[in-house]
Structure 1
């Protein structure tokens, strides 16, 4: 990945547009693909994430160095997973029954939700991150590198190089990246688990992940 990356975001909701603003401020190019049912998407993105470009799903997949999936978990099946083979994909979703409803097969599956998504296409270089921090905290808590008050963000996945790529993006938007190792360790980042929704230092977050080590940006 080049220093200035092309980052694609599936999802033009609060999380997707907050990510877009942070990534644009860090100097990256941002592409957004939303639901076909979202009307006036160009106008919306022009207002809430000026500088981001609205594209089709195919264009986003083709052009992006890193792809974020930031749609409601129940809509994960609408993502073109088969087209994402070989791509670094960040699963920023959370299974949230009050929004998604109770999905019996998800409730019965012992794997983390990101492991379930990874199984949609084993050739995707899936990383779980950004899901355990609220979209408002992403912008409110972003701080320069070295600031003692800087919060952290975890990155887990079975592809070490993909984790490092996402860690550099985390550092660029103002958080200390913490490497949590394998994708299965991402369960602690999900709703109802220890790291979800908490503002933690790198040391505090690292203590919740096994293995855990700060990622050098």
Structure 2
């Protein structure tokens, strides 16, 4: 059974954990505090979930989800995630994260920052543009007329295929983007950010995205 490691147990991390257990994954989840602080969540998730430190989560994961505030991305374990697919849910909020010059001038993106920090991993931008509660509330079976789509962006075809499969298991269609740098098209304040859209609709919204510097 595949182990999904989740580094960050906030709103997004907790909802991803719920869907992952439902889909049949083993889940190891950690936060910036002690594993004991996640006792209630782990009890809710059931016997296929456990809490651990961030380093132990990274080591145990077959695939990891990084869902910490962006300013903390350099705390993510590097060696333990080498060779692994890593899903990045981060968004940039200067009022929370402080000013990051290369994001302010759009010379890079949040996922590319994490990829540079994790050079041996295959990073996928995922789950950054959906409200946490919608991860469970908006899930629909494949083929449903009302099925929502989500974006995944990566430099790795294998990582994109994993993300597509995970989205499908969770109840969503996929709009896949390459390379990873194209993840800017689904960052905050773009047309597709937060949109409850079908795959075709989301493709159009992603295509309509403009760089921040083009909108001021």
Give the structure-1-normalised TM-score.
0.87
- The answer as to whether partners of 1:91 and 1:114 remain within 8 angstroms in 2 is yes
In structure 2, the partner of 1:98 is 95
- SS of the aligned residue for 1:44 comes to helix
Q: Equivalences for 1:25-64 in 2 at 5 Å?
A: 25-36=22-33, 40-46=36-42, 49-51=45-47, 52-64=49-61
Q: Bigger CA drift: 43-52 or 158-167?
A: 43-52
In structure 1, the partner of 2:8 is 11
Matched, 1:68 2:65: yes
Cα offset, 1:108, TM superposition: 3.3
Q: 2:172, 2:106 → 1: CA distance?
A: 31
Q: Deviations over 1:129-183 (max 9, x none)?
A: 1101110111110111111101011111000011101110110011012212211
Q: 113, 121, 132: which is aligned to 1:135?
A: 132
Matched, 1:176 2:191: no
Q: Equivalences for 1:148-167 in 2 at 5 Å?
A: 148-167=145-164
- The answer as to whether partners of 2:70 and 2:91 remain within 8 angstroms in 1 is yes
Q: 193, 201, 206: which is aligned to 2:190?
A: 193
- SS of the aligned residue for 2:117 comes to coil
In structure 1, the partner of 2:212 is none
Matched, 1:108 2:105: yes
Cα offset, 1:189, TM superposition: 1.0
- The answer as to whether partners of 1:180 and 1:206 remain within 8 angstroms in 2 is no
Which residues of structure 2 form unaligned runs of 5+? 208-216
Q: 2:52, 2:36 → 1: CA distance?
A: 13
Q: 2:98, 2:117 → 1: CA distance?
A: 21
Q: 2:164, 2:135 → 1: CA distance?
A: 15
Which residues of structure 1 form unaligned runs of 5+? 211-217
Q: 1:58, 1:112 → 2: CA distance?
A: 25
Matched, 1:23 2:31: no
Using a 3 Å threshold, how does the CA distance of structure 1 residues 39 and 153 change in structure 2: closer, same or farther? same
Give the structure-2-normalised TM-score.
0.88
Q: 2:114, 2:150 → 1: CA distance?
A: 20
